[in-house]
Every structure is written in C-alpha cells, then in structure tokens.
Amino acid sequence: MGRAFVYVILGGGVAAGYAALEFTRRGVSHGELCIISEESVVPYERPALSKGFLLPEGIEVVLGTWVKSADVKRKTLLTATGETISYKFLIIATGARALKLEEFGLNGSDAGNVCYLRDLADATRLVDVMQSCIGGNAVVIGGGYIGMECAASLVINKLNVTMVFPEAHTMARLFTPKIASYYEDYYIAKGVKFIKGTVMSSFDMDSDGKVTAVNLKDGSWLPADMVVVGIGIRPNTALFEGQLTMEKGGIKVNGQMQASDSSVYAVGDVAAFPVKLFGETRRLEHVDSARKSARHAVAAIMDLEKTNEFDYLPFFYSRVFTLSWQFYGDNAGEVVHFGDFSGNTFGAYWVNRGNLVGSFLEGGSKEQYEAISKVTRLRPAIEDLGELEKLGLGYALAE
C-alpha cells in the first residue's frame, strides 16, 4: 500500500500549518502536497491552544497517523497503519514532546490528576481536571514557560497554587533575578506560593490512582488535588537519528532550512539552524521561529536560487494576568536594567563584547516593542553602560 507526493510535511503543529499556508500562497496543484500528523485535528495555533486552525483546502491531510519510520535514502515514510508515503521533498515539522517525570527517575505521570501541556488533547484534559478541583490545591512542577503560564491560569480559575522548581528564581534561562522578582512578587500578590531550590521526590496516591500529596527532596510535602508538570521538552528527532546530521538536540539545517540530505528540510522546534546574527547554530522553541522557519523552507524548496539565507532575530513573548513582555535577541553578556520596576513598564538590555545583543520589555506599547526589536537587530556598539541605563527605553526609541 502506498501513495506518492511531491511535498510531504511530517507533523501537524504550528510549523506544519505555516508551511502549508506558504505552499498554497505560492501555488501547489491538487494532490501535490500531503500533511501527516499524529493529532486528530488539522494544524492549529498552539500558544492559544485555541481552534485557530491553519489549514487551507486542497491538501491531502492524513490525520491521527503516527509515522513510525523514515527512510531518507529511499524518500519514504512508513505509517503505523502500514502505508508507505513517498516524497520528492520532505519537511520535518515534528516539534517536540514534553519531558516526563519518569525521565528524571520519578513515577506518577499516569495518575488521573497529573497533567502535561503540549497539544490540544492535553489542554482539554487539563481543563477537565482543573474544573473538578476548583477551590482545591494545585502543585505546579517547573518554573519555566508552562509553569508560569499555567500557574496564572489556575489562580484565575480559583485554585490555590504552589510552584516548585530547582532554580533560584522563575524563568531562569531568560530572566535576570531582578526581572524574575517583579513577576514573582506579582504572583505572590495573586496568592501563588513559590518553593525554590528543590524538586519533587515522589507522590502520595489514593486508591483511585490520584495524587493526594507531592513529597519534596527537602523533606517537606504539599497537599495536591492536581499537579501540572512543565519540566521542558525534547525535540522529536528519533525517526531521523543516524540518517541526518544532528546538533543541539535537533536536526541540523543550513540557512535554507535544508538538512544534511538535500531533499529534506526541518523547521520549528526540531530544527537547529544558523542564527546569522550570533554566528552560531541554535534550536529555538518558540512560535515565531516555527512560523518563519516554515515559510522560509517552503520558499527555498520552491525557489532555491532566489531564496536568501534565513536571517532570524530570535523573538520570545508571554502574557500572564494583565502582564505582557517581549524579548528580542540573545540574553548573553552584561545586563543593564531600565525603567520603573515598581510600576508597569521596565526592561533590560544585554551587552555582549561591546554590542547590544538582547532587549527585554514588560508593559510596552506597539511602538516601543518595535523600537527594541529594531535596535537589537542593529547590534549597536555600546561604550558606556551607565549612559545606556540612564537613557533606558529612550535609547531604543532614539535609534
């Protein structure tokens, strides 16, 4: 059993949806393009986990179908249902999976009230569990993006929330202690408790297989009606290990998003691509890079000659409660904070080897965010950090 297509997109997430949009924008004939996804719904905007579906018509969509092996030399994919799908060009958009507690030597992921959040099925389940626990205790494991965003939603839905994570402050990979302390104070005022510098060691369970308490390494324990786990992700590269070159845990691609086999492209969370601005290969786990890398790969597939190298400025953002921040560039080097950390608008610049390389802003206007984005891309030389601090946001606005 088999089918053949010119273009196959493997994965049905954000990058897959944007690749499909770009194909149809540029024009593909009926039956030329196929998307294969394990999920039972067509690609949707993951950040909102809303039903903002991304798929235009005229594309062969193979849903609810797991691809179990790939043969890069033969240009074929084998599905769990036994179908062989062949391609001329493959776009790998398999994204990532949430890391499980078991991978840290712990147990309990299967408990009825332990939730992860990666796809629509997870989101539906999390909402069901949350609604059965209103007024109860939620323990959030992990102080990254999922932890921060879920803790805010749980509080809004009237649960008592405690966050537990090993680092000294939240969002340790991006926030400085000063930035983190602003958000933590805000969360504390909303009723969230933080337990830092320790990790969970085990769950107490009832006879229904539900968690009743979370035991911590420091010897303490927390009563729990539900648990949300957000302890990072791993890119879904397994199908291509040994067949394509890997780097930074992802599939290594060039500036056209082309993998070590020239018929294969990788986009989104799974791709490790050259970030020209920093002169190094990075794997980013954010929606803007998923969207843009997907469009770039399609442009390269359809017109390699005329497609310049991907020149991407990393962009991350989040919205929680009434807060909203954006970050552009790289958080490397020395940090200069600016603005009013007791008010609504503040930020930071990162200066590495004499150049401004990263900018963070909370509570900015559209114009202000555009200004920090623009200035970061320019990588201006900074001679006087004190002066930069004094000028603050004014520096970006004046450039």
Site residues, ligand NDP (CB under 6 A): 104, 141-147, 149, 165-167, 172-173, 199, 230-233, 285-286, 316, 318
> What does the alpha-carbon distance between residue 160 and residue 181 come to, in Å, rounded to a whole number?
20
Contact mark string toward ligand FAD, 316..345, x via CB under 6 A: xxx---------------------------
Phi, psi angle pair for 169, to nearest 5°: -155, 170
Residue type, 302: M
The residue (of 12 and 147) whose beta carbon lies closer to ligand NDP is 147
Interacting stretch for ligand FAD, rule CB under 6 A, among 154-162, 173-181, 186-194, 265-273?
265-273
Site membership for ligand FAD, residue 297 (CB under 6 A): no
Site membership for ligand FAD, residue 22 (CB under 6 A): no
CA angle 328, 279, 175 (to 5 degrees): 30
DSSP string, 96-110: EEEPPGGGGT---TT
Partner interacting with residue 231 (select from ligand NDP, ligand FAD, none; CB below 5-8 Å by kind) = ligand NDP
Burial (Cβ within 10 Å: 0-12, 13-18, ≥19) of residue 29:
exposed
Partner interacting with residue 165 (select from ligand FAD, ligand NDP, none; CB below 5-8 Å by kind) = ligand NDP
Interacting stretch for ligand FAD, rule CB under 6 A, among 88-96, 246-254, 257-265, 369-377?
88-96
Site membership for ligand FAD, residue 115 (CB under 6 A): no
The residue (of 174 and 216) whose beta carbon lies closer to ligand FAD is 174
Q: Distance of alpha carbon 285 from its chain centroid, rounded?
A: 4
Size of the site for ligand FAD (CB under 6 A): 34
291 CB-near residues (< 8 Å, 6+ apart): 14, 15, 18
Site membership for ligand FAD, residue 170 (CB under 6 A): no
Give the bridge partners for 223, in sequence order.
213
> What does the alpha-carbon distance between residue 388 and residue 382 come to, in Å, rounded to a whole number?
8
CB-based closest residue to ligand FAD? 13
